[in-house]
Structure 1
Amino acid sequence: MAGSRHFDLVSHWRIDAPVERVWSALTEPESWPRWWPYVRSVRLLKVGGADGVGSVRRIEWATRLPYDLVVEVEAIESLKHERLRGRSRGQLRGEGLWLLRSDGGSTDVTYVWRVELVQPWMRWLAPLLAPVFRWNHRGVMRAGGLGLAGHLGVSSRVLC
């Protein structure tokens, strides 16, 4: 954590599916609530280009803690089968980067999120609650990796 406002969060998934299938699932956020237990809803607010860049979605998240989050995510970069980058605003501000690497018939997925705490109570309590915030993020991401593998009908190794 840099100061009490920013967190750098990194998650790793190894999904036993080709990168094309993993990419397809990650680039269809409206389907996430079907396989990612903590995603309550995804709503398209703005259509982007053919590669999705410029699109904006409102994502409602449940958490392992007694609060929910709503963020709007704008797709700002897309390199097919390799990299997706988005910028979030709302209750959490930041930038997220999905990195995919094909490894035979499997896909290594890394998600890096630099997030700024917006809510005053989060900023105020961040020095004390940083381990809890990280624990929460790991659990949400772990559920996503396992959910994606289940959705694709394959096994996974989630290292969040």
Structure 2
Amino acid sequence: MASADHHHTVARPGESRAFHFESRWLVDARVDRAWEALVDVAGWSDWWPGVRARAGAGRRVSLVALSPLGFSLAFEVEPTVVEPPHRTEFVAEGDLRGHGSWTCHAQGQGTRMEIVWCVCSGRLPIRFSRPLASWAHGALMRRGERGLRAALR
């Protein structure tokens, strides 16, 4: 699902090649309700196991993701495009640097969410874990989908 809105991240010296991750979630809630949970990034800690979030300066949010591989990733995200209730794009800085997007589409009585990440990292544990990165990212994202489904019941 390489969307037309995808911004490819180019590695800087000392960084990994870009990791490109795509996830799809389906939640049993209307788009406007799912969108509210999505844009309340500081509230993700309440429903997303393995993710700690807190509001930062301006529209920035500080995140710590606990990898199933045994290390954490600390980074900040800041929205660059916000089109409620369907699309947001953001930049990331820190252990992960790059771009992402999150879109919400009505699907039946629920919402289909598509999440795209294109990020690089200068941290050695992340760079060396490339063969397992898709699995680790998928595991963290599945926990998020399950947590959001439960939170929106």
- Name the TM-score, length of structure 1 as normaliser: 0.82
Q: Distance in 2 between matches of 1:133 and 1:86?
A: 21
Deviation at 1:131, TM superposition (A): 3.2
Structure 2 counterpart of 1:44: 55
Structure 1 counterpart of 2:23: 11
Q: Distance in 2 between matches of 1:62 and 1:114?
A: 18
Residue 56 of structure 1, aligned match among 46, 57, 60: 60
Q: Given that residues 18 and 104 in structure 1 are in contact (C-alpha distance below 8 angstroms), is that contact kept between their aligned partners in structure 2?
A: no
Unpaired runs of 5+ residues, structure 2, are 1-9
Q: Distance in 2 between matches of 1:121 and 1:64?
A: 12
Q: Given that residues 62 and 69 in structure 1 are in contact (C-alpha distance below 8 angstroms), is that contact kept between their aligned partners in structure 2?
A: yes
Q: Distance in 2 between matches of 1:105 and 1:64?
A: 32
Deviation at 1:102, TM superposition (A): 0.9
Q: Distance in 2 between matches of 1:119 and 1:5?
A: 12
Q: Distance in 2 between matches of 1:31 and 1:45?
A: 13
Structure 1 counterpart of 2:7: none
Deviation at 1:121, TM superposition (A): 4.5
Deviation at 1:120, TM superposition (A): 3.6
Residue 92, structure 1, aligned to residue 96, structure 2? yes
Unpaired runs of 5+ residues, structure 1, are 48-54, 154-160
Indicate how the Cα distance of structure 1 residues 121 and 152 shifts in structure 2: closer, same or farther if over 3 A, else same.
closer
Residue 42 of structure 2, aligned match among 22, 30, 36: 30
Structure 2 counterpart of 1:71: 75
Q: What secondary structure sits across from 1:69 in the alignment? A: strand
Cα root mean square deviation, aligned: 1.6
- Name the TM-score, length of structure 2 as normaliser: 0.85
Q: Distance in 1 between matches of 2:126 and 2:40?
A: 30
Residue 20 of structure 1, aligned match among 14, 17, 32: 32
Q: Deviations over 1:85-133 (max 9, x none)?
A: 110010110111001111232111000000112214433x2xxx43311
